[in-house]
Chains A and B, each alone.
Chain A
Amino acid sequence: MSTEQKQKILIVDDSELNRAILADMLADEYEIIEAENGLQGVGLLQQQETDISLVLLDIVMPQMDGFGVLEVMAQNHWIDDIPVIMISAETGSSHIERAYELGVTDFISRPFDALIVHRRVVNTILLYAKQKRLVGMVADQIYENQQRSSLLIDILSHIVEFRNGESGLHVLNVRTLTELMLNHLVQKTDRYQLSPSDISMICTASSLHDIGKISIDEKILNKPGRFTDEEFAIMKTHSMAGAEMLENLPIHQDDPLVKVAYDICRWHHERWDGRGYPDGLKGDEIPISAQIVALADVYDALTSKRCYKDSFSHETAIQMILDGKCGAFNPLLLDCLRDFADDLPTHMNNSNSVAQRNLREMRNVAQEIHRHEELTASERTLQLLEHERMKYSFFADMSKEIQFEFTASPPMITLSNWGAEHLGLDEIIMDPLHQPEARKVMDAADFQNLTDILRSTSPDLPVVTYDCKLNYKGAWRWTQIVARATWSNDEPPRYTGAIGKAIDIHDSRMKLASLERQASHDALTGLLNHAYAKKRILERIESRPAATCALVIFDLDHFKSANDTYGHSFGDQVLVHLAEKLRQCIRGGDIAARAGGDEFLIFLEYKDDVEAVISRIFQSLCGRFEQFPLSISMGVALTATVPGGYDALFHAADAALYTVKRGGRGQYRFYDETMRETLSAISPIDGDETTQEPD
């Protein structure tokens, strides 16, 4: 954060004059933002939290008073980082006490002295800035120390290897394999009681296993052929020599890392059967750290090219170790090795490339630390955060979606830039349930429902989908709101609000509705079609099994001749006319449909005198359309007399209709037992009237 940029002070006071006096005193050195009540102040804090260096806060204010602001600041932990100076005409000690309890840094009572206010503001900001810097420095120091110590260890082991004429990868390979073995071992057994920090320490210390070689004559170290007995005896001293170097360190004697490194240096050539050197320890007399490094050392020596030997393949190396060609090892460790032997080459390659990268990075770290003295680790975090924010707002703008963030306390909605514009709202809406503009956009009941649903979610299942209408600058459109409730990490978790987006689904929803309508209605008459009517009738029968109902089927007599004489479009007009009359003579709850051709269907519920109902309908359907007389044949079946559900009912009404047709048309009949064997009038639904009719 550069020092040229002015630090920001938020003044929250309901009197413009009071704000102006304070602003005037501070505007030269600080950037001033103002809020005229507590709620607005909280909104600004939410929006610019990390930018605000200090808050000057009044107590008595509309909407939310100063204490309310302090409570919200405490809830969100803002008060930990943003100092608050309270300025008030309230001088009662209870007020002052409460203010301090809620975490204010200072309390200034009116009337105030300009110089004092100014001085206290400056002091408080300096104090907090210093504290922040100290926190940052401590964090950076820890980070830097860790970087430095691995850097030093790497440099040290490099020196050893350089003298040794080795590739520089030996130390890394041993470390990688040591880590693999350790992690595998702790999964297999708890015999050695190794904590994650033990593991990390052993891995680091493993890098030092060969430091004793620095005391060995280079001629022996790099001799291409076999050692003489004498030379081998000298070579063998490197393990003890390394241990002694560590033991004689003038400082850090008690450092656990030094102790572990000592064990590894001294005993990484011991063997399980006691035939190693220098001390001939047996079994678990050898510390587990040294046992593992020994195995890793052997594996890497076998698979690497040395001045005295070629490299063996991975498979050969494993086999040689398992066969005891390189001395005896802890059977448990051999089991581990066997377990992951197949994956080992991949692991080693991956880790090595990572390790090499780390190495490169480490070489650069020291330089970078100097080059970017300003750019410390904690500031990097802030930059990353800033970057994420920028990314988020860019994508939010690009996506042409209404995205929102809702905080429950205090109730506040933050809309994405595009969303706010699209809905004709401000980006920040305080107390949306009572804000008039926001209420115009979303129905209060919908808002309440949605917040209730969000509140009733759980941290495991926080996502909610809610369909409702929103007002887009005057046009109500169906919208799907997908939101994720946010829960705090407290125990029990606390509902804190939601994030989400609103998707305009109006067009697709309208299209669906129209398709549904098309699928369920007859295009010519606008009545239900047969299939959909059947579905509705089945639902009705199921939902009201005790009701007495009638199924009526009727058709137009001599309709074919109307078509033949006056043409099909006249025929269509007749059907539309009849459908209209039908609509007029039935009641709201009745179901009317065009069953096909000139056949129609009615399903109705009746109380007692069904005959009167049917007669009335029959009479109103008869008449004349232009020159064509409307004569109707109608069959009726009653649920009271025809058991067996819809199909039986339909069949019975059909049989009654057939009976009418055969009996001279132009009347209605109720189904009775005598019609049991009767043929169907409309079974082949599109059947030609003339072929069906007896006359």
Chain B
Amino acid sequence: MTLKDCYAAMGGNYEDAIGRLRSERLVQKFVLKFLDDGSYDLLCRSLEEKNYEEAFRAAHTIKGVCQNLSIDKLQASSSRLCEALRNGYTPEADALAEETAEDYRQTVAAIRAFQEASVG
């Protein structure tokens, strides 16, 4: 599995990421690092605790990271979730959180697969 395949699997835009960050090495390094990013855990925890201010910030961070790495699919859902939480809780947030979670799982699965392929 190549990095390009990984991008396809997670609904990202490989060409765009390479175009902006200028090096495959860099993109690969940070895509792998995405697995360690705590923002998603923070998002889940904040939503559970109904701390919507914190949840907004976490969604915002996920969106920012995805923008940097051109992980478009997760960026789109986290961005919508972010807007739904910008001024506190709104009823749409629940469905959007579910959608974000789904995209996050897909992204992580793709990166894991890529990680294993490149290690092995």
* Pair B68/A110 contact, Cβ less than 8 Å: yes
Please, which residues of chain B bring their CB within 8 A of the CB of A113?
19-20
Contacts of B38 in A (CB 8 A): 16
Q: Do A114 and B22 form a contact, CB below 8 Å, given A17-B30, A62-B57?
A: yes
Give the number of residue pairs across the A-B interface with Cβ within 8 Å: 61
Interface bits A76-106 vs B (CB < 8 Å: 1, else 0): 0000000000001100000000000000000
Contact with B along A254-281 (1 / 0, CB 8 A): 0000000000000000000000000000
**Is there contact, CB below 8 Å, between B30 and A111?**
no
The verdict on A112 contacting chain B, using a C-beta distance below 8 Å, is yes
Contact between chains at A60 and B33 (CB < 8 Å): no
Asked whether any CB of chain A lies closer than 8 Å to the CB of B99, the reply is no
> Are A14 and B57 closer than 8 Å at their CB atoms?
yes
CA distance A112 to B79 in the complex (A): 16
Report which residue of B33, B37, B61 has the largest number of chain A beta carbons within 10 angstroms of its beta carbon. B61
Query: Interface residue count for A (Cβ, 8 Å)?
Result: 21
A18 touches B26 (CB 8 A): no
Does A110 contact B34, Cβ atoms closer than 8 Å? Answer: no
Interface pair B33/A20, CB less than 8 Å apart? yes
The residue from A15, A21, A25 contacting B61, defined by CB atoms under 8 A apart: A15
A590 CB within 8 Å of chain B: no
CB pair A89–B30 under 8 Å, yes or no, is no
- Given the complex, which residues of A lie within 8 Å of B37, measured CB to CB? 15-17
Give CA–CA (A113, B79) in the complex, Å.
20
B107–chain A nearest beta-carbon distance, Å: 13
How many angstroms between the C-alpha atoms of A58 and B68 in the bound complex? 13
Asked if B30 and A61 make an inter-chain contact with CB atoms under 8 angstroms apart, the answer reads no
- Tell me if B67 and A110 are in contact (CB < 8 A): yes
Q: List residues of chain B with CB within 8 A of the CB of A18.
A: 61, 64-65, 68
List the B residue with the shortest CB-CB distance to A110. Answer: B67
**Residues 2-55 of B contacting A (Cβ, < 8 Å):** 16, 19-22, 26, 29-30, 33-34, 36-39, 54
In the complex, what's the smallest C-beta–C-beta distance from A626 to chain B, in angstroms? 71
Q: In the complex where A15-B39, A20-B30, A89-B63 touch, is A112 in contact with B54 (Cβ < 8 A)?
A: no
* Sampled A-B contacts (27; CB under 8 Å): A15-B39, A15-B61, A15-B65, A18-B61, A18-B68, A20-B33, A21-B30, A24-B26, A24-B29, A25-B26, A58-B64, A60-B56, A60-B60, A60-B61, A62-B57, A89-B60, A89-B64, A89-B79, A110-B68, A111-B16, A111-B67, A112-B20, A112-B68, A113-B19, A114-B21, A114-B26, A115-B22
The 10 lowest CB-CB distance pairs between A and B, nearest first, are A111-B67, A110-B67, A89-B64, A113-B20, A15-B61, A60-B60, A114-B22, A114-B21, A17-B65, A17-B37
